Structure 1
Amino acid sequence: MNKIKLTLLILVLGFTYGKAQDQLIVNTQGRKTVSLNGTWNYIIDPYETGFFDYRFKERKENDPGAFWNKPVITKKTDWTEHDYKEPYTIEVPGDWNSQDPIFKYYEGTVWYQRTFDKPEVETNESVFLYFGAVNYEAHVYLNGKKLGMHKGGFTPFNFKIPAELLKDTGNYLVVHVNNKRYADEVPTLNTDWWNYGGITRDVKLVITPKEFIQQYHIQLNQSQDIAKAKKKKKFQISGWVKLNASTSEEIVSVSIPELKIQQDFTVTGDSVKIDFEVKKLKLWSTENPKLYDVEISFKEHSISDKIGFRKVEVAGTKILLNGKQIFLRGICTHEEISSDQRRATSKEDARKLFASVKDLHANMVRLAHYPHNEYMTRMADSLGILLWTEIPVYWTIDFKNPAVLAKAENQLQEMITRDRNRASIIIWSVGNETPVSDARTKFMSTLVKDAKKLDNTRLIAAALEVGYNKNVNFVDDPLGEYTDIIALNEYLGWYGATPDACETAEWEIKYNKPFFISETGAGAKGGFHDDKEMRFSEEYQQWYYEEQIKMFKKQFPESFSGVAPWVLYDFRSPKRNNPTYQEGYNRKGLIDDKDHKKLAFYTLMEYYKELENEE
């Protein structure tokens, strides 16, 4: 590819994705909204008939054969080959795979449709259409007009609805959803989780003033000496507020009523930096997840949020939270309700997952392998559970393709934009188990640098590669030069050995940074019992955890700062096809798909209790 073509490609990608990022509205919970959740109609369209004509060219806007247009039938001779009617209905939010057997393995296009009436809107207000997530590619149409397109299955997006397009009644909304996997997408073709398709998160109308607060970042200033701040009981809060449009010499106010704080800042342009001092601040922590009501005001518009203030940092080989060393007693989880074989979508689902985390006595969750829904991150704030959240740069991404890098950067920015005010998130991760090469390290290190520019109040990580040589495990992945911690996935005792291999294992870490096990685990079919040497028995999995814990205590370096075993619940994966033990499930869960806690759950729970008592 010559330089001119490459430059044009990057410019096109920057426009396609960057524009959506700049317009993303945060904290929709704190705004005036109308829910569009509920029952929608659908058409399954594996041949893309509604999108392309018979010459396989994208249909024109007013084409009656386009599935975004409402069929008009006034007489018997009128012709149409599509319509949205009963019994073809589907619930939103939700994946399509779990709602009808016809969808179980389906990958392709499904058209979603519903109507809605115009909400109550003042003359000085605008209406945006907001999606929490659609997997993977979404084209959105309203009353026959295309509002826009978005790629990325786990991050939010929104489009402004032109005032002249919005009718008083019967607004005809259509979403073209496609979850096909491609080599040049993020994630790529090969993953180890179920490719749930559909509108998987909340859909809503967001009603705003013409000029409004669009995004903001309000956090504890990370450059201050936390010990001195505690001693003086004076803390510095800093960040910024971004408006949806430029203004001149206007006031943005930030208030924290409980602390009797109100600060005014003059904004010229579309954003303003904020910085002010507070006294007697209670810092957010796992023991005391204190959240403050924070209100931001601009002209007649105000928005409220609940924000915790804390400092996370690395000091040599230690992870510090508010100046105190912390050990991450973690667990990994997918965004799935295993017992229902579906994507997790609601506050109730988040409550169920975190209840199991609490039962385990964990203080940290790795949200794998993509950003989870906003109910998860907000509930973690209120429960005092630390989070690692990542983008799905997974395994065999096309690291030499600049278009793929642009897609990964877009998802990284949307993830950080949505959740940058969540105190629970202490780690942004840029990927998982990516094979070492020069192209890969350049790709991944670019993402690390991007994350640091977007947000300097968290640690940046990735699940790195491990080199094995007999009993010595080398951790020298070149990406470790760029990340704040050295995180890696190890399965010593499951792949290629038995758990007693941990007894003689040695570990050599190249980097003088905190060392974190981001995955470890063994499979077990819930309820299957046998001798501990029998793979897929609960006894084997328990033996695996017993040997791992012994290794953690005896052979691991002083830099060992935490572990997040794989995984909390069994989860669905088309890669796992053992007909006796797996049946389409990854069985490394500590809890099975019937909500049965396996023996290993209690083994890890006792280890975490022991660590908790030592704190």
Structure 2
Amino acid sequence: MKLFFRLLVLLIGTFLASTVYSQNWTLKQAPLMTRWADDLDIENLLPEYPRPQMERADWLNLNGVWEFQVGEAGENPPIGKTLSDTILVPFPVESALSGVMEQHEHIWYRRTFSVPEDWDGKQILLHFGAIDWESEIFINGKSLGIHQGGYDEISYNISPYLVKGIEQELLVRVYDPTEAKGIPRGKQETPPHNLLIMYTPVTGIWQTVWMEPVENCHIDQLKMTPDIDNDQLKLAVFADNIQAGVKVVAKAFDNGKIVATVTGTAGNEFSIPIKDAKLWSPKSPFLYDLTVELVKGSTVFDKVDSYFGMRKVSIANEGGNPKIFLNNEFVYNLGFLDQGYWPDGIYTAPTDEALKFDVQIQKDFGYNMVRKHLKVERQRWYYWADKLGIMVWQDMPSANSYRHNPPPVDTLQYRKELERMIDGRYNSPSITTWVIYNETQGQKDENGNNLTGRMVELVRSKDSSRLINPASDNIFKDYVGDILDYHSYPSPRAIESETMATACGEFGSVGFALEDHEWMPDSGVSMIMVNTAEKLEDIYEGYIQMLAQYKSEDGMSGAVFTQLTDVEQEINGFLSYDRVSKVDIDKMKKINEKLIENVIVKTDEILPIASNAATVWKYTFKEPAKNWTTGSFDDASWELGQAGFGHGNIEKGKVNTNWDTDKIWLRKSFEINQIDSDDLFLKIMHDEDFEVHINGVLAASGKGHSSKYELLVISDEAKKSLKIGSLNTIAVYCKQTVGNQFIDVGIVHFLYRK
């Protein structure tokens, strides 16, 4: 009860102080706002404890309205001075939710706070979840130090700087060079963007700020490593100012029931036995609770609450191919590319519920993995990934993303932030893979030396319990680490390796503009564009069917679809930027789960493509009558030709009949037996626009060109027109405007099993 009244008084005091600031603060409006923006409570902002795997009962949230001011390089700190503006912490300066929505290299933050009376005699720790990029913290005019790194938790013991009997002043200096230095920044770029896949930068405080009291002897860090093969959790507890005779007492719980109690010493790893462990997986994301105490006799110096998941990730051989295993079983990894951007908060989700939504919706779509792209999230995002159950491929934010003549990469800073990322997120069971580089960005130092091998050794030395993807899109062909990953747009590609598990680390980017949910109306960009949700769904299903073949025939272990949401000018998400679904979620879930849980055991070519058989078609270069797609059409005057039809240098296609006019029409009869038409697809390579008809019904159409054979969904109407056990007619039209030209079409059927 005493604690309750103390917290009540503290909240009232915090409310009164923040009310003074908030009188001058107003919310800005971005081109799009999420529905969670309406749920902001600026007097109780992001109230959840920000570090779920090392949580203390007593703490103080410092989020809310702070003073703010634009700064200049080298200026003296405005100690004791009221700043000229206000900002809502912890939203980045560039965001609408911050109330500023401007970009500046140099900025200042200021607020005052009171230390609760019953914290007297304790050490007071001040934490910042993250500040982008360089920060200097002042307490009552004294500098606590300078930190560089935009994704790291920053902590200081502020007790020596506190003054009795006054309101304490907290001042924060921030400098953020964005792309002007070769530092990790991910997709951030100062507008106007060099490429349209870059986004608004993030400056300043973008994660929760909080304080907590501890004894002089207190827990500093936990390191938890599950070992399912030996039924144990390996635990190391690191402490500050440890005293002689102080022991670590760790208790593991299964839904409130103690399953093990173990005593150890700080700084030394010991094991907690977990008999008949309930294993963590996307299908069953079971988490054990954990308490850790520092104890001497009857005195408890510190206690933190945590949790852990028992799981193992490894590479093992199955069917002659190295594959990704979870808990000693092959699990195909399928996920979204997730940028982690918000239209109103940029890097910072408006609420914890919004953060949870982004994880849950990926589960709803049927994915079991997510590639967190070039961003390190706040701890509570990983909590929801752990709790809801989704595997995470965690990218290291790149240092020179998509720049012409970028500044030299600060390889030492990159290494420091890479190590901090691993240390800071080590305990999360959902993280299964570290992705060190993306598309060659920062992979070589200023002397042209490839750093990949050394970085793989570094990551392995810090964490041997997870997989390493050395470079997503392994352009430099660094065959080190665990996963060989190439990108392929828009359709996925097959990848083979005798020594590494393989994955298509990016594919897709199919754009569809959702009316009233665009950041830049009528100006959105994507790799390819469609104008209906149904077209987007059909293209995606064809891509997934290609992956099913690569999984079954080439032993591939995973793929990443671009992407979860639209981001600013990019409109290639399954969700709009403000988190409205463009597609049928249940339908996508069914498609995805079929790929993850099944394998193709038989492939029948109903109509072979040119590289597999000498298939003869009727063709003409003259526009035929309107009924040319039907079975009753008389094509006796048409010429005979062997597929494929084309002209020029066609790398992936085989030209057997020359076609060098602007248009071509093709027809052929085929017979089909009893099959499951859901698993019947067109196999096509086209350059350029095409239409395919079956028995006079449009089966599929498309624009542009494909550089390889792709699978396309056959329309329901065309499937219904099929005549089982008798002749059917397939009719194809293709139009060419410039460059090489090619058309070849097949029909293929797949047989699955679990």
Distance 2:245 2:262 in 1: 16
Q: What is the aligned counterpart of 2:80 among 67, 70, 77?
A: 70
Aligned to 2:201: 195
CA positional deviation for 1:32 = 2.8
- Higher RCO (C-alpha under 8 Å, 6+ residues apart): 1
TM-score, scaled to structure 2:
0.62
Aligned position for 1:94: 91
> Structure 1 residue 110 and structure 2 residue 107: aligned?
yes
The letter of the residue matching 1:387 is V
Post-superposition offset of 1:377: 0.2
Following the alignment from structure 1 to structure 2, what is the Cα–Cα distance between the partners of residues 571 and 425? Answer: 24
CA distance in structure 2 between the aligned counterparts of 1:104 and 1:523, rounded to whole angstroms: 30
The alignment status of 1:174 with 2:182, answered yes or no, reads: no
What are the residue-to-residue correspondences of 1:141-180 with 2, within 5 Å? 141-180=138-177
Q: Is the 8 A contact 1:394 1:434 kept in 2?
A: no
1:130 aligns with 2:131: no
| Stretch deviating more after TM superposition (130-139 or 445-454) | 445-454
- Measured in 1, the distance between the counterparts of 2:272 and 2:205 equals 41
Any gaps of 5 or more consecutive residues in structure 1? 1-24, 53-58, 60-65, 72-82, 230-234, 468-476, 494-501, 573-584
Instruction: Answer whether contact 2:219 2:240 (CA < 8 A) is retained.
Output: yes
TM-score, structure 1 normalization:
0.76
More deviation in 125-134 or 430-439? 430-439
CA drift at 1:33: 1.6
Question: Alpha carbons of 1:104 and 1:458: their partners in 2 closer, same or farther (altered >3 Å)?
Answer: same
- Once the two structures are TM-superposed, the CA of residue 446 in structure 1 deviates from its matched residue by 2.5
Distance in structure 1 (CA, Å) of the matches to 2:345 and 2:134: 25
Q: Return the offset for 1:369.
A: 1.0
Distance across 2 between alignment mates of 1:403 and 1:212: 38
- Report the alpha carbon displacement of residue 441 of structure 1 after superposing the two structures with TM: 6.5
After superposition, residues 472-491 of structure 1 pair within 5 angstroms as: 477-481=476-480, 483-491=481-489
Are 2:507 and 1:516 equivalent residues in the alignment?
no
Give distance in 2, aligned partners of 1:36 and 1:515.
45
1:15-94 to 2 correspondences below 5 Å: 27-30=53-56, 32-45=58-71, 47-48=72-73, 51-52=74-75, 59=76, 66-67=77-78, 69-71=79-81, 83-84=82-83, 88-94=85-91
Q: CA deviation at 1:94?
A: 0.9
SS at match of 1:313: strand
- From 415, 426, 434, the equivalent of 1:428 is 434
**What amino acid is the match of 1:428?**
W
Three-state SS of the structure 1 residue aligned to 2:55 is helix
Among 430, 449, 452, the alignment partner of 2:457 is 449
Amino acid at match of 2:133: Y
Per mean C-alpha deviation after superposition, the further-off stretch among 513-522 and 433-442 is 433-442
Offset of 1:403 from its aligned partner? 8.0
Matched residue type, 2:106: T
Deviation at 1:381, TM superposition (A): 1.0
2:530 pairs with 1:552 = no
- Residue matched to 1:310: 311
CA distance in 1, matches of 2:564, 2:123: 42
> Residues 346 and 449 (structure 1 numbering): CA distance in 2 closer, same or farther, change over 3 Å?
farther
Is 1:408 aligned to 2:414, yes or no? yes
**Which residue does 1:264 correspond to in 2?**
263
TM-aligned CA deviation for residue 104 of structure 1: 4.1
Letter in 1 for 2:457: K
**Mapped pair 1:185 → 2:183:** yes
**Helix, strand or coil at the partner of 2:246:** strand
Measure the CA separation in 2 of the matches of 1:512 and 1:561.
13
Contact kept in structure 2, 1:132 and 1:155, CA below 8 Å:
yes
Structure 1 pair 152–341 and aligned structure 2 pair: CA distance change class (3 A)? closer
Match of 1:588? 572
Aligned residues: 514
Structure 2: unaligned runs, 5 residues or longer? 1-50, 190-196, 516-521, 599-753
Q: Which residue of 2 aligns with 1:567?
A: 563
Q: CA RMSD in A?
A: 3.3
Distance in 1 (CA, whole Å) between partners of 2:482 and 2:96 is 42
Inter-partner Cα distance in structure 1 for 2:460 and 2:402:
22
TM superposition shift of 1:124: 4.9
Q: Do the aligned partners of residues 433 and 184 (structure 1) sit closer, same or farther apart at CA in structure 2, a change above 3 Å counting?
A: same
Structure 1 residue 91 displacement after superposition = 0.9
Corresponding residue for residue 636 of structure 2: none
Structure 1 residues 178 and 402, CA, compared in 2 at 3 Å: closer, same or farther? Answer: closer
The answer to whether 1:254 aligns with 2:250 is yes
* Closer/same/farther in 2, CA of residues 294 and 402 from structure 1, 3 Å limit: farther
- Kindly state the Cα deviation for residue 545 of structure 1 after the two structures are TM-superposed: 2.5
Q: How much does 1:414 deviate?
A: 2.0
Structure 2 partner of 1:527: 514
**Correspondence 1:458 to 2:466:** yes
- The residue identity in structure 2 corresponding to 1:537 is N
Following superposition, the deviation at residue 534 of structure 1 comes to: 7.3
CA–CA distance in structure 1, aligned partners of residues 60 and 164 of structure 2: 16
Partner SS state of residue 560, structure 1: coil
1:489, distance to aligned residue in structure 2 (A): 2.4
Distance 1:553-1:137 versus aligned 2 partners, 3 A rule? same
